[in-house]
Amino acid sequence: MKKLGFLLLNLFSISVFTIHLASAQKVEFGLKGGLNRTSINDEQMVQDSEAKPRMGFHIGGLAHIHLNDTWAVQPEVMYSKEGAEYTSPIYTGKTDLNYINVPVLLQYMVGTGLRIQTGPQVGYLTSAKYEQTNNVETKKNDIQNGNAAWVFGLGYLTKSGFGIDGRFNLGLSDIYKDGVYPGKAARTRAGQLGIFYQFK
């Protein structure tokens, strides 16, 4: 939790900086959505079953803040449906994790539309549940409310304002609450492919 708190504090500081920066720089707003292919690197579950990725989606808004002709900062607010599937000789199940994610990305703009981007992301857990094949659903009270990740990606913006975006979100924090599975950790992984429209 201390590491997560430190990351949250850093992201808050970056967000305050970008808000201050936006007041003096060119800002373009946009909408974004797309598909997720997510998994959980779960050291507890893999002892008894095989973890597999599952499909989800993300949708939200962005603010593209130009620093100069080459560099930009892009904070976003995204609803993201994530999780994983588990199979074993005796059961199958799936975990649903729904987050409000806030990435703050530093972008290097190449040529007419290519963007190389990276930066921190924090997520707020809105709901979580685990469902087995017998249709019994239980709320995952052992999941942290916050999740920290680091984002790597590429994007391309066309002259029309439409663009395409591909990312990998590497989970940094243990999604389990302290003491739930001592000595074991679970971290999210998400590949994302999306489209966006940036208003001029």
Domain of residue 37, CATH code: 2.40.160.20
The whole-number pLDDT of residue 46 equals 52
Where does residue 129 rank: exposed (0-12), middle (13-18), buried (19+ CB within 10 A)?
middle
**Per-block mean pLDDT, blocks of 10 residues, the chain (200 long):** 53 57 73 94 58 90 92 95 79 85 95 93 89 63 87 96 96 82 79 95
Contacts of 106 (CB under 8 A, 6+ apart): 71, 72, 73, 117, 118, 119
Query: What's the pLDDT score for residue 45?
Result: 55
- Provide the domain limits for residue 52: 2-198
Residues β-bridged to residue 72: 66, 107
Q: pTM to 2 decimals? A: 0.82
Beta-bridge partners for 50: 87
What is the total count of domains within the chain? 1
